[in-house]
Amino acid sequence: MNQDILTFSHVAAGYGEKNILEDITLSIKEGDFAGLIGCNGAGKSTLIKCISGLLPLRGGSISICQKEHAALKPRERAQLVAVVPQSYHVKYDFTAEDIVLMGRNPYLSFRKKEGPEDYAIVEEAMRATNTEIFRKRLYNELSGGERQRVILARAIAQKPRIILLDEPTSALDVHHQIEVMELISRLNEEEHMTVLAVLHDINMASRFCKRMIMLQDGGVFADGTPQEVINRENMEQLYQMKLLIRESAIFHKPEIIPVRVMDAPKAKERRHIHVICGANKAVKLLEELDAKGYQVTAGVINQGSEDWEICRELHIPCVEIEPFTPVTPTKQEENLRLIADAPLILVADVPFGVANLQNLVGLENAPGQIYFHKNALSNDYTNGKLIRQLEYLGTKKKVTYIGDHDEFLHLLEKEEKRISKNKN
């Protein structure tokens, strides 16, 4: 089993009279790739500064490779830990190779200058980061992504056991963000280098990190795998906003979908709206209706569809069926029971086939007003059965056809104003 390589015991630190970190106790194992997450001011960068010796502790202790942090000389610490900052600026005309060679400084002295071994290590580091192609170019003339790769090469040239990264991709475009994170991931996998990274992009952290540590209120709020840490409760606590969590279909890691920070304008009356939907056509509408405070229910939906996912996330009652199975009369009976006390029924922009046409059977007996999204007619795979069902429904009660979901929301607002005016 991998041993603890970085240990924090009741660590406290801060600036001026204020403590940012109050009581950090955790261990990083050798070979970990851990991401530090938290809101601005949570202490992520402060913790990195404590490890690197830039900020003294006000309480507790840190051990690096089973050695007391306070007892380590700067040269000893630099041989164990390398830091990749958010950005690195130099005033003089150093080449990229000069910058990487600085990574060998912890091993040099007044008497010991750079030798063949040092240059071989620098060459290896630049090859690993694909920076050897501009080794003789001036560092200050490189792009942001190229500079960050050079700084990463410098860290590799230190031959550390731990790499600390303080928001290493925040100033980069998405191409260079992925490039840098892939390089770091390769170091972790192939060189078994321990990585502790401050990352603001939760989806990036989820994709690359094996472990995530969430800081809040001066301590560790959550610690575990991405699947254990990235849940709606933790993320809404972190960001103070409404968001959704789903699993990436490519990486099979959780990712967040930000929805809203400010509350949606609330409906004046919490009327019941039943939405007949499916596939992924009503996700945004269901969220908006829920955010406005309506009592929302949904029709028969296949498990695994995005409409089903949003109902599950928002606890919207719906009738579930297994994927690729038709709506049975029994399930439609459940649907009709949900509809029974809904004054408003919306048939959303949903493809219709013979498997889900049953969703419309019995609507003629429903007491509520029916709205039908006209785009569903463009996704009719029933060989005319949908049209006949709608014609029959139209003989029994009024069906209002709408062009899009925003039109439906606008109609709701107009209806609320009319009701409010009549009451006054």
In this predicted structure, what is the pLDDT of residue 122? 94
Which of the residue ranges 26-40, 235-249, 330-344 would you say has the lowest mean pLDDT? 235-249
* Residue 343 pLDDT exceeds 80: yes
Q: Which residue has the tokens 């409404």?
A: 242
In this predicted structure, what is the pLDDT of residue 223? 96
Cα-Cα end-to-end distance for the chain: 73
Give CA torsion, residues 84, 86, 92, 94, to 10 deg. Answer: 40
382, two tokens:
């029933």
Domain residue ranges of the chain, discontinuous segments joined by + = 4-258, 272-423
Q: Give the model confidence (pLDDT) of 215-256 as tens digits.
A: 998 999 999 999 999 998 999 988 888 888 988 989 999 999
Distance CA 173, CA 179 (A): 10
Residues 6+ apart with CB under 8 A from 273: 289, 294, 295, 296, 297, 342, 344, 345, 346
> Was domain 4-258 assigned CATH 3.40.50.300?
yes
272-423, which class in CATH?
Answer: alpha beta
- Of the pLDDT bands very low, low, confident and very high (cuts 50, 70, 90), residue 424 is low
Measured in degrees and rounded to the nearest 5, phi and psi for residue 307 equal -65, -40
Q: Give the model confidence (pLDDT) of 375-415 as tens digits.
A: 999 999 999 999 999 999 999 999 999 998 999 999 888 88
Q: Which residue has the tokens 């590799």?
A: 156
Q: Which residue has the tokens 């009279």?
A: 17
Q: Give the model confidence (pLDDT) of 352-378 as tens digits.
A: 999 999 999 999 999 999 999 999 999
* Residue 1 pLDDT exceeds 60: no
Q: Which residues pair with 19 in a beta bridge?
A: 14
